[in-house]
Amino acid sequence: MQTSHIVDQAISNPLTGQVQIPLDFWRTALGELINRANQRLTPFLDALNPSEAARETGVSRQTIYHWIEQGRILPIWVNRHPFLLKLDLLQVARKVEREEAAQVTTATKGEEDMV
């Protein structure tokens, strides 16, 4: 998604590279402009609301909102409600799953080294 790169560059911390997008950002003129561009560039056929997204991925709605705030997934806002493309959502869920598995593996390895 092209607009996600714009958001990353505009909002990321230049020192850490981390993205933290306050949900209020999407109510600003820039947020609304990016959202309109995103709506035009994105097919809306498989869009899910946060509850549907949570069920689809097996996480909580709060986790979905956390992913949005982290910039992991770029929502399409319609009447101030976020919608997520199913393909993007599943990619993020798989990436988070791999990251968590790597953390567990690293933690387990560290415990074995201590023994």
Mean pLDDT across the chain = 83
Residues in the chain, overall count:
115
Residue 82 pLDDT exceeds 70? yes
- Average pLDDT, stretch 39-50? 84
78: which strand partners?
81
- Average pLDDT, stretch 93-111? 81
Is this structure's pTM higher than 0.85? no
Residue 4 pLDDT exceeds 80? no
Identify which of 85, 5, 14, 80 has the alpha carbon closest to the alpha carbon of residue 48. 85
Task: Report the 10 Å Cβ neighbour count for 78.
Answer: 13
CA 89, CA 42: separation in Å to the nearest integer? 14
2-114: CATH topology: Multidrug-efflux Transporter Regulator; Chain: A; Domain 2 (1.10.1660)
Residue 1 pLDDT exceeds 60? no
- Chain position carrying tokens 């023994």: 115
CA 51, CA 47: separation in Å to the nearest integer? 12
